[in-house]
Amino acid sequence: MTRSPARISHEHAVDALRAQLVAHPAGAPIRLAKPTSNLFRFREPPGREALDVSAFAGVIEIDGTTADVGGMTTYEDLVDATLPHGLIPHVVPQLKTITLGGAVAGLGIESTSFRNGMPHESVLEMDILTPDGDVVTATPDNEHADLFRGFPNSYGTLGYALRLRIELERVTPFVRLRHVRFTDAAACARAIEEICAAGGYRDEPVDFLDGVMFGSTELYLTLGRYVDSAPSLSDYTGQRIFYRSIRDRVTDHLTIRDYLWRWDTDWFWCSQALGAQHPLVRRVWPRRYLRSDVYRRIVALDRRHDLSGRVYKLLGKPAREPVIQDVEIPVERIADFLRFFADEIRISPVWLCPLKLREQTGWPLYPMKPGRLYVNAGFWATVPLGPGEEDGTYNRLIENKVTELGGHKSLYSTSYFDEEEFWLAYDGETYRKLKSTYDPNGRLPDLYSKVVRNR
């Protein structure tokens, strides 16, 4: 078989990276030199000893409705490569600089997840660099099937995905949106169940489904469907702001590309805290910097130097706890969670995104039940700490409630679990077997150390 220049280049890059890793000093932390991150466990930037993985950012080949993709490829670049073929990945996470490997080793979700599950469920095979420098190809049914199933939610503690073969789906040029309002969470939850069961709403097909809770009596589901034409198009990449349109419009139309990145321009709604939604600031803020990765760099700088904390102290205001989480709650309990959240945490808006696993065997390190419908609730803000309350008070309260309701919490941000409860929730037995097989020398931290202790 003739190999393309892109595949030959990829193979050379694999050899070079293996040599880097083998030469890495024993006992020195292994980190990747990545220009962007969407994790909210802030650490010092990687040093000069970090592994150079820049050669793994790009699409190697598109063949029909599958693609071979480098693990460090951002979804922005991946979509730019597939859209000219009329294709996109089955699930495209909301933020442009999330990488394919990151979405698979962590977790990704979006408005196709009610029918397509999570990004790792459309992976057909992976080349994974193990901590000792071996590269293994993992598929659902080969000798590394245990690693294939255990890689999702391992967050780079078992190795790094260098190449992934993924499924793609065909798209139309445009997406038609319909925003449906609900006045209580229970009614919204019932509608989610009905839509996901039927694949439509009131005789209209639904290809995309997510929602927003602005308050306990103001919730919206946004129903999207593929269409070949549009009477007019909205643009939310400049002065107009997508999440505000949900309250103001009943229907809307976007290009498929603008739909995929509708949340990135304002980092959902989090750009407001950085002043980017103020009309005067908006006019002078360059359009190319209206992006989630720009906002995250600003937040990282703030966290590193505690700029906000110093301002609050100077003004005599209470310290604030960052509450930046995504949690998955069974649909029949999501109304209970949202009532608790409105009463106890008092953050709004909240993003809602239904999901159901495609695979019937499940994924051990994130043990959602196959066949069961969940709703992701995403919330990203700060909460003022009251007298005697320590940092972590509200995050721990949320963790306890999620566990009580039979849900799960994504691990991209701060976690406060003690070690015993953590391994109960994330299948410590399976993880330890994988760790002993693929990282017997402990060159990478284990999952608890990385996501809770931030090592």
Domain presence at residue 201:
no
Strands 51-52 and 32-33: parallel
Domain presence at residue 210:
no
Whether the CB-CB separation of 318 and 384 falls below 8 Å is answered with yes
Tell me which residue range forms the domain holding 379: 306-416
pTM: 0.95
Among the candidates 148, 171, 194, a domain finishes at 171
What's the confidence (pLDDT) of residue 42?
A: 65
b/e map 38-52, b = 16+ CB within 10 Å: bbbbbeeeeeeebbe
Q: How many CB atoms lie within 10 A of CB 209?
A: 26
What's the confidence (pLDDT) of residue 69?
A: 98
Domain presence at residue 154:
yes
Whether the per-residue pLDDT at 372 is higher than 70: the answer is: yes
b/e map 122-149, b = 16+ CB within 10 Å: bbebbbbbbbeeebbebeeeeebeebbb
Domain presence at residue 226:
no
Domain presence at residue 55:
yes
Total count of domains within the chain: 2
Rounded Cα distance between 337 and 330, Å, is 10
Largest CA distance in the chain: 69
The DSSP call for residue 368 is P
Task: Kindly state the tokens that stand for 112.
Answer: 């196709």
- Do 311 and 165 lie in a common domain? no
- What's the angle, vertex CA 352, arms to CA 380 and CA 196, rounded to 5? 160
Distance of CA 384 to the CA centre of its chain: 26
Domain presence at residue 217:
no
Least confident of 23-32, 91-100, 293-302: 23-32
pLDDT band at residue 84 under the 50/70/90 scheme = very high
User: Hey, is 101 helix, strand or coil?
Assistant: helix
What's the confidence (pLDDT) of residue 150?
A: 97
pLDDT band at residue 307 under the 50/70/90 scheme = confident
CATH code assigned at 56: 3.30.465.10
What's the confidence (pLDDT) of residue 43?
A: 67
Whether the per-residue pLDDT at 311 is higher than 90: the answer is: no
Rounded Cα distance between 155 and 445, Å, is 10
Whether the per-residue pLDDT at 72 is higher than 80: the answer is: yes
Q: Judge if the upstream peptide bond of residue 349 is cis by omega within 30 degrees of 0.
A: yes
Domain presence at residue 178:
no
Over residues 147-189, the pLDDT tens digits come to: 999 999 999 999 999 999 999 999 999 999 999 999 999 999 9
Phi-psi region of 316 (alpha: psi -120 to 50; beta: other; left: phi over 0): left
Rounded Cα distance between 132 and 182, Å, is 53
What's the confidence (pLDDT) of residue 1?
A: 55
Whether the per-residue pLDDT at 45 is higher than 80: the answer is: no
For residue 430, the number of C-alpha atoms closer than 13 Å in the C-beta half-sphere is 20
Among the candidates 171, 189, 207, a domain finishes at 171
Average pLDDT value for residue range 322-339: 97
What's the confidence (pLDDT) of residue 314?
A: 86
- In 12-139, at which residue ranges do the beta strands (DSSP E only) sit? 32-33, 51-52, 59-63, 66-70, 87-89, 123-129, 135-138
Among the candidates 171, 195, 224, a domain finishes at 171
Least confident of 46-55, 129-138, 261-270, 443-452: 46-55
The DSSP call for residue 342 is I
Amino acid, res. 371: G
Average pLDDT value for residue range 89-109: 95
User: Hey, is 234 helix, strand or coil?
Assistant: coil
Question: Quick one: which of 148, 150, 178, 181 has its CA closest to 165?
Answer: 148
What's the confidence (pLDDT) of residue 273?
A: 92
CATH code assigned at 358: 3.30.70
In the chain, what percentage of residues exceed pLDDT 70? 97
Question: Quick one: which of 214, 394, 412 has its CA closest to 296?
Answer: 412
Question: In 151-241, which residue ranges form alpha helices assigned H by DSSP?
Answer: 185-198
Whether the per-residue pLDDT at 264 is higher than 60: the answer is: yes
Domain presence at residue 376:
yes
Least confident of 40-54, 241-255, 335-349, 433-447: 40-54
